[in-house]
Amino acid sequence: MSQQQTSQSSGQGLLERVFKLREHGTTVRTEAIAGFTTFLTMVYIVFVNPQILGVAGMDTSAVFVTTCLIAAFGSILMGLFANLPVALAPAMGLNAFFAFVVVQAMGLPWQVGMGAIFWGAVGLLLLTVFRVRYWMIANIPVSLRVGITSGIGLFIGMMGLKNAGVIVANPETLVSIGHLTSHSVLLGILGFFIIAILASRNIHAAVLVSIVVTTLLGWMLGDVHYTGIVSAPPSVTSVIGHVDLAGSLNLGLAGVIFSFMLVNLFDSSGTLIGVTDKAGLADAQGKFPRMKQALFVDSVSSV
Q: State the DSSP H helix or E strand holding residue 211, giving kind and residue range, or none if neither.
A: helix 206-220
Beta bridge partners of residue 174, listed in sequence order: 170
Least Cα distance to 158 among 61, 202, 92 occurs for 92
Least Cα distance to 299 among 81, 39, 36 occurs for 81
Q: What is the pLDDT of residue 1?
A: 47
CA distance 240 to 107: 21
* First vs last C-alpha separation in the chain: 47
The amino acid present at 118, given as its one-letter code, is: F
Least Cα distance to 182 among 147, 209, 222 occurs for 222
Q: What is the pLDDT of residue 119?
A: 94
Per residue of the chain (303 residues), give pLDDT as tens: 444 554 455 556 677 777 777 877 778 888 888 888 788 778 888 888 998 899 899 999 999 999 999 999 999 998 888 888 888 888 777 888 899 889 988 999 999 999 999 999 999 999 988 888 888 777 777 777 677 767 777 877 887 788 788 888 888 887 888 888 888 889 988 988 998 999 899 887 788 888 889 889 988 888 777 777 777 788 888 888 888 898 888 888 899 999 888 888 877 877 777 777 777 777 766 677 778 888 888 888 887
Q: Which residues are within 8 A (CB) of 281 and not within 5 positions of it... i.e. 6 or more apart?
A: 84, 288, 289
pTM score, two decimals? Answer: 0.76
Q: What is the pLDDT of residue 10?
A: 53
φ and ψ at 167, to 5 degrees? Answer: -120, 145
